[in-house]
Structure 1
Amino acid sequence: MNDAVETKVNPHFEDFLFDWSEKIQVLVGGYGSSKSYNTALKIILKLLQEKRTALVIREVFDTHRDSTHSLFEEIIMKMRLDDKIKCPVSPMQVRFPNGSKIIFKGMDKPAKLKSVNNVSIIWIEECSEVKYAGFKELLGRLRHPTLRLYMILSTNPVSTDNWSFLHFFKDDRNKRLVLDDEELYKKRIVRTNGTYYHHSLPDDNMFLQQDYMNQLDEMEQYDPDLYRIARLGRFGVNGVRVLPQFEEQPHEDVMKAIQNIRKPLFRVGMDFGFVESYNAIVRLAVDTERKYLYIYWEYYKNGMTDDRTAVEIDEFRQSGELIKGDSQEAKTIKYFNQLGFNMMSALKFQGSRLAYTKKIKRFKKIICSNECTNTIYELKDLTFAKDKNDAIIEDEFSIDPHTFSAIWYGLDDYEVTDLKEKKERGRPSRERRKRR
């Protein structure tokens, strides 16, 4: 039996195969790094030693047949254990001579999870494809009266707005830091907060063919996002950023910069929301000479009735600052006016979403105070949505950015100079002629 289980493994995974010190184990890696192969091998070795039931999860059940189940079968045959370990497909399982077994389920059929009992190991393959609610439900399914419990999650590093990144690494919106992903890329293996992290690259797989590596390298030229994921194994922003000039700075530095503007233009914009949307207010300052936009204050809440919101933003009523809001909320704007607020509808017209988006993109810099955490969350990595042909939709985005709408409304009557148009005209703008 000992001779039969000898098999060659990639050196970067040798310690991982026998490390069961942490309950949660997270594997992040590029394409072909062998993270799935070594996870399957790790489970086989464990179930040969101890009588356990392991549950393997994918978002769609039918994908198991050609991925995880066939992978287990391949490894078992390589180890020459196929006469002892059986891999039936109906029901889809892996059965060991000591009574251990591996069962396969999909989150697209959650009712079938109810029949799962005494599971001490769960492997979520391509965990980024599973919904966050599903992950939390699976944590509750992980239970056994006597054995230690383990959950292994493997994934390619997708977008930083995916729950797998927000939960196991960084959630800027909620100011939660578990592990800086840059630290993982540098150290390759990290243990922290009861979780084992493992990072792998295609280079770590000594069995990978050079032709495949060449294909991964070629991605850098035609698909940088996929190259980052597949070749470099790194999380990041997927898609084309709407505001690449957006940057975050300490609040004190932002306020000092605003004070030094020769002729600052101040504006306030508001987007209305209630249940899923948010009431978002931003205070803005524009350096009209340098074409810099500063965002230095925000209000961001939902589930608020208008009367409660009025109390919380009463400083605007007292100061008399003009707030420009969504013209589709005329009734709400009238209510605030009756309470003494200086509020009016912003200009809105056919194609205004696209026009306003292009306007904001014309700023040379968009500088946001680090105290405006919701604005940073929505705008820093905001990307354009794409249609079925993978073409950018210039007035639709990856999320519904309420602070972006508030900026639109606040600056509805201000036009950023388009340097291209200015050059084509070949003469100073009207604003500059007036200053002369």
Structure 2
Amino acid sequence: MKSKKIYLPDIIGKGYKDYWNFKGRYKVCKGSRASKKSKTTALYYIYKMMEHPQSNLLVVRKVFRTLKDSCYSDLKWAINRLGVSEFWETKESPIEITYKPTGQKILFRGLDDPLKITSITVETGMLCWMWLEECYEITNEDSFNMLDESIRGQSPGNLFKQITLTMNPWNEKHWVKKRFFDAENDPDILAKTTNYKCNEFLDKADLKVFENMKKNNPRRYQVAGLGEWGIVDGLVYENWEEKEFDTDDISARKSVKSIFGLDFGYTNDPTALFCGLIDLEKKEIFVFDEIYKKALRNKMIYEEISKRGYSKEKITADSAEPKSIDELRDLGLRRIIGAAKGKDSINNGIQFIQGFKIYIHPRCVNFITEISNYTWDKDKFGNTVNKPIDEFNHLMDAFRYSIEEYISKARKGTLNSAPIWV
């Protein structure tokens, strides 16, 4: 086998020495955007698996389908960054990465199929490491405990068992804070906070984004810029719960209609599709699916929606982009329309939604993140004002668009008397 000499500090950069060298059970890193936490973790595991021929890695996110565009892509990037692509084999069906000289595996699983996690075995060595990416998505600590128990057995030689958790620090009430960051003097825990300032690979344009955020939105800067915990105070919606349900069973109710809304994004913000069911009689809303991706051109938006089987649904989209709506209609979304919006449409929509009980399927991780961080804004004196913050609102906006016709009928007093066509 050919050898290759590299100088790690040039490849990895600074700010993660303790993170890299820690061998305790739990290595936890919360960080701001562009803090290179995920990239560093990917580099770490590629390097360490080559160093330890008995090691194998399990990579987990709450929803399996989100792994391909996140951890899997980061690990492939790390292989190329280290210049060792000739030693690794990557495949996408199913997604898996193999270290060719020994047969060691990087396996990928989602918590939406827990049986596939508890039954994992490896042919070479032992499953000793786990990387749990975006662990803020896991709202139930018991789910983490189940994962924790899957990393067990005696480690041969100098091998060690470890679980790495990486996350954005959106919510100070998350169980990760109490369990790891509030723990005192536990040698088995490294809980670390990083931010963009330790990322020397950012250019001037990248840094300017954070400088503008610091000046124009200091509250957001504390979390998205400095990696501090988000303080969730004054939630817009408290009438919701995460719950598994059968979409077919709910949609079979005579009083249930489908609702779809679309909010456009591209470079900095994601394009967000909200998919739900509304029961006007029982005052219930069921959130069953979502699309949440950046850099989607209109054709890609159509392909994503069509792939999920929603191309024939009525979709109410952000009317600020009429050209995009027209193009999507030409591509095949025949029933897409622009939202009417209008004066006080945001608050009217919020007030209407607050009259319903909202059930969110666990796979809708981005919707859960947004709704659990969508709060009323504050003025410069810290007083709450009657408008929501201008963040965590991509799916929240799409949600409102999806029920716009019902909001309008409710304000006219015709919601229960007029026929409703969806």
| Length-normalised TM-score, structure 1 | 0.49
Structure 1 residue 35 displacement after superposition: 1.0
Change (3 A) 1:384 1:203: closer
Alignment partners' CA distance in 2, 1:61 and 1:224: 34
Residue 152 of structure 1: which of 164, 173, 184 is its match? 164
Structure 1 residue 241 displacement after superposition: 7.9
Structure 1 residue 83 displacement after superposition: 1.2
Change (3 A) 1:386 1:57: farther
Tell me if the contact between 1:55 and 1:122 (Cα under 8 Å) persists in the aligned partners: yes
Equivalent residue number for residue 61 of structure 2? 58
Structure 1 residue 194 displacement after superposition: 1.7
Structure 1 residue 210 displacement after superposition: 2.1
What's the secondary structure of 1:152's corresponding residue?
strand
Q: Please show how residues 242-257 of structure 1 align to structure 2 within 5 Å.
A: none
The total of aligned residue pairs comes to: 234
In structure 2, what residue type is equivalent to 1:126?
Answer: E
Change (3 A) 1:13 1:384: closer
Alignment partners' CA distance in 2, 1:21 and 1:228: 30
Q: Percent identity?
A: 26
Equivalent residue number for residue 37 of structure 1? 39
Matched, 1:209 2:203: yes
Alignment partners' CA distance in 1, 2:114 and 2:40: 27
Residue 108 of structure 1: which of 103, 106, 112 is its match? 112
Structure 1 residue 89 displacement after superposition: 1.1
Tell me if the contact between 1:225 and 1:238 (Cα under 8 Å) persists in the aligned partners: no
Tell me if the contact between 2:31 and 2:37 (Cα under 8 Å) persists in the aligned partners: yes
Structure 1 residue 217 displacement after superposition: 2.8
Change (3 A) 1:383 1:126: closer
Structure 1 residue 195 displacement after superposition: 0.7
Alignment partners' CA distance in 2, 1:221 and 1:71: 31
Structure 1 residue 201 displacement after superposition: 1.4
Which stretch shows the higher mean deviation, 191-200 or 65-74? 191-200
Equivalent residue number for residue 196 of structure 1? 190
What's the secondary structure of 1:88's corresponding residue?
strand
Structure 1 residue 124 displacement after superposition: 0.6
Q: Deviations over 1:409-436 (max 9, x none)?
A: xxxxxxxxxxxxxxxxxxxxxxxxxxxx
Q: Deviations over 1:371-404 (max 9, x none)?
A: xxxxxxxxxxx998579xx9549xxxxxxxxxxx
Give the alignment's Cα RMSD to 1 decimal.
2.9
Tell me if the contact between 1:240 and 1:383 (Cα under 8 Å) persists in the aligned partners: no
Gaps spanning 5+ residues in structure 1: where?
A: 171-177, 180-190, 243-353, 355-381, 394-436
Residue 162 of structure 1: which of 174, 180, 204 is its match? 174
Equivalent residue number for residue 135 of structure 1? 144
Tell me if the contact between 2:19 and 2:27 (Cα under 8 Å) persists in the aligned partners: no
Change (3 A) 1:383 1:120: closer
Alignment partners' CA distance in 2, 1:384 and 1:223: 15
Q: Deviations over 1:264-303 (max 9, x none)?
A: xxxxxxxxxxxxxxxxxxxxxxxxxxxxxxxxxxxxxxxx
| Length-normalised TM-score, structure 2 | 0.51
Structure 1 residue 196 displacement after superposition: 1.4
Q: Please show how residues 321-340 of structure 1 align to structure 2 within 5 Å.
A: none
Alignment partners' CA distance in 1, 2:214 and 2:132: 29
What's the secondary structure of 2:112's corresponding residue?
coil
Tell me if the contact between 2:32 and 2:223 (Cα under 8 Å) persists in the aligned partners: yes
Change (3 A) 1:384 1:42: closer
Alignment partners' CA distance in 1, 2:155 and 2:13: 33
Gaps spanning 5+ residues in structure 2: where?
A: 237-350, 352-371, 378-385, 390-422
Tell me if the contact between 1:239 and 1:384 (Cα under 8 Å) persists in the aligned partners: no
Alignment partners' CA distance in 1, 2:204 and 2:95: 34
Change (3 A) 1:16 1:384: closer
Matched, 1:89 2:89: no
Alignment partners' CA distance in 2, 1:66 and 1:137: 25
Structure 1 residue 225 displacement after superposition: 4.0
What's the secondary structure of 1:33's corresponding residue?
coil
Structure 1 residue 222 displacement after superposition: 5.0
Alignment partners' CA distance in 1, 2:66 and 2:26: 24
Residue 132 of structure 2: which of 124, 144, 147 is its match? 124
Equivalent residue number for residue 3 of structure 1? 4
Alignment partners' CA distance in 1, 2:150 and 2:373: 36
Tell me if the contact between 2:22 and 2:190 (Cα under 8 Å) persists in the aligned partners: no
